[in-house]
Amino acid sequence: MAAELSPIDQAKFVAARRSVDFVESGMKLGLGTGSTAAWMVRCLAERVRDDGLEVTCVATSTRTVDLARSCGLKVVSLDDVKWLDLTIDGADEFDQNLNLIKGGGAALLQEKIVATASDRMIVIADAAKEVAQLGAFPLPVEVVPFGWQTTKALIEETLYSLDVLNREVSLRMAGDAPLRTDEGHFLLDLNLKRIGNPRQLALVLNQIPGVVENGLFIDICDVVVIGQGDGRVTVRDINSGRIENGAVDITESRNIFADLD
């Protein structure tokens, strides 16, 4: 089954596999949302099953709750544990300073709450997610449904005073209706092409009435684990400056692939 994975899925898998090496028994963990995070949940469950690891998990979406519990992981609410040792999540983009764009999976609000309530955040990603400058991936902004068109207009007006290349804003849809997040909000996707000052943009967006949160994660990520399609993995620690190169043997993970139908 492992041989049938595409190179991009292999890259996501090896990043996820390497990231769970950071997990220690007794930890309280934040579990991210998205395709790469889903690999991590399965890898973590395999460690719990095979190594006797004991962990308590907080998920960042109903999708991750369902997946984690189906894999046999203990999932509680953030209010139950108050604070976490570690959060592992994916990203839609990251730069050399480990600033992130997240929210492609429509879970940015809970993801940011969980990541901020953690001692450390590890991001897992394939190599294509690394960019010189954020902005090619549309920036999600979570907004309340009431007056969302006014909020959209205010965002568009505000963007003219900021260092971005494009100012196209669109409502994310789910079929014929607006997509709703787990919190019942809408998502506006900002197609900016280039974000010159992510920190400034994040602060300004959150001052606009109707905006709940934006998908820029600034000074939150501590470590990024970057996977390659051939099994190579790079671990980069922004705090220590340490870079570690290694590899994951995909053929040793038959159990996790056997679970995928």
- Binding residue positions for substrate: 33-36, 89-92, 102-105, 129
Which is the catalytic residue, given 24, 46, 93, 111?
A: 111
Binding residues: 33-36, 89-92, 102-105, 129
**Does the active-site annotation cover 130?**
no
The DSSP string of the chain is -GGGS-HHHHHHHHHHHHHGGG--TT-EEEE--SHHHHHHHHHHHHHHHHH----EEEESSHHHHHHHHHTT--B--HHHHSSEEEEEE--SEE-TT--EE--TTS-HHHHHHHHHTEEEEEEEEEGGGB-SSS-SSPEEEEE-STTHHHHHHHHHHHHTTSSBS--EEEE-EETTEE---TTS-EEEEEE-S-BS-HHHHHHHHTTSTTEEEESEE-S---EEEEE-TTSEEEEEETTT--EEEEE--GGG-HHHHHT--
Catalytically active residues, by annotation: 111
